Amino acid sequence: MIKINLLPVRAARKKEAIQRHLVLFVAGLVTVLLVGIVMYTGKKGELSDIEIANKQLTDEIENLKKIIGEVDEYKEQEALLERKLSVIRNLKANKTGPVHMLDELAARIPEKLWLADLDEKEGRVTLQGLSINNEVIATFMSRLEESAYFKEVYLGSIEKEEIEDLHLKRFTITSRLVVPGVVEES
């Protein structure tokens, strides 16, 4: 009987199977590496694009901050100029204000009423005078309230006084002086 040794064939088949598995493993590993490299370069490209866009946005923000700083400077200058113009307007109004106030006062004094004293301190005017009766004083106060120069008109006091057989009323009126065109400070 002839004996055939099949061991080399089995060993050869085993060797071929191992080689095939090894080739498939290496091919799979190379494929995975190639896919990884492609994905890595793609993501790296995206990252560099995002970094470039981020740098552009940062530069734009810096430019806008400079512009905002300039706008703030202009606003401060505008506010300063507005304050200066307000002071100039107030000075002009205060320059002619007392003349107009006295003219307004003279136009509103009724007959049978005489002013003896006028005092102005810090925007408050105190008027003292004489009148024939209380109705004339009330008329005078009503006329003062109608004026644009006198606000918050209050009667301080009324006292009887006799001068040369005349029964007169001595009065005191206080009011807040308002000069039109002058901005009131708080």
C-alpha–C-alpha distance, residues 26 and 33, integer Å: 10
- pLDDT tens-digit map of 47-100: 999 999 999 999 999 999 999 999 999 999 999 999 999 888 877 766 766 777
Beta bridge partners of 158: 171
Half-sphere exposure (CA, 13 Å, Cβ side) for 167?
Answer: 2
Residue 168's DSSP bridge partners are 161
pLDDT digit string, tens, across residues 164-177: 888 899 999 999 98
Q: How many other C-beta atoms are found inside a 10 Å radius of the C-beta of residue 109?
A: 17
**Mean pLDDT calculated for residue range 111-123:** 88
Query: What is the pLDDT, as a whole number, of residue 121?
Result: 86
End-to-end CA distance of the chain: 131
| Cα–Cα dist 158/170, whole Å | 6
Mean pLDDT of 91-120: 83
Would you say 125 and 109 are in contact if contact means Cβ atoms under 8 Å apart? no
> pTM higher than 0.85 for the full model?
no
Q: How far apart are CA 130 and CA 157, in angstroms?
A: 12
Q: Which residues contact 159 (CB under 8 A, 6 or more apart)?
A: 169, 170, 171
The whole-number pLDDT of residue 186 equals 41
* Overall residue count recorded for the chain in this entry: 186
**What are 7-40's pLDDT values in tens digits?**
667 777 888 899 999 999 999 999 999 999 999 9
- Asked if CATH classification 3.30.1360.100 holds for the domain at 97-177, the reply, yes or no, is yes
- β-pair type (113-121, 150-163): unpaired
| 129's tokens | 């005078």
